[in-house]
Amino acid sequence: PFSTAIMKTVDHSMIGRIISVIGVISNGLTPIAMGLGGIVIDNFGLSILFYLAAASILITSVLTVTNKEIQKL
């Protein structure tokens, strides 16, 4: 859905640049997420990390499904 939204809303001459920026941001956040995950595991245990991941996926899904702008796509 995210890439579909990008394709439908961004001007075709800018799609390559936008996808590149998204890739750089995504790849840049990976080491930060790994570091935060390690801190959470060290302090609270592995199971809490899975609960946090599940909660974030659930919240993102609910927000995506209930967003009127996304439903128009």
Amino acid at residue number 5: A
Separation of alpha carbons 26 and 17, rounded Å? 14
23-59 pLDDT per residue, tens: 999 899 999 999 999 999 999 999 999 999 999 999 9
Q: Confidence class of residue 73 from pLDDT cuts 50, 70 and 90?
A: confident
Separation of alpha carbons 38 and 32, rounded Å? 10
Backbone torsions φ then ψ of 19, nearest 5 degrees:
-60, -40
Please report the pLDDT score of residue 52 as a whole number: 92
DSSP 25-60: HHHHHHHHHHHHHHHHHHHH-HHHHHHHHHHHHHHH
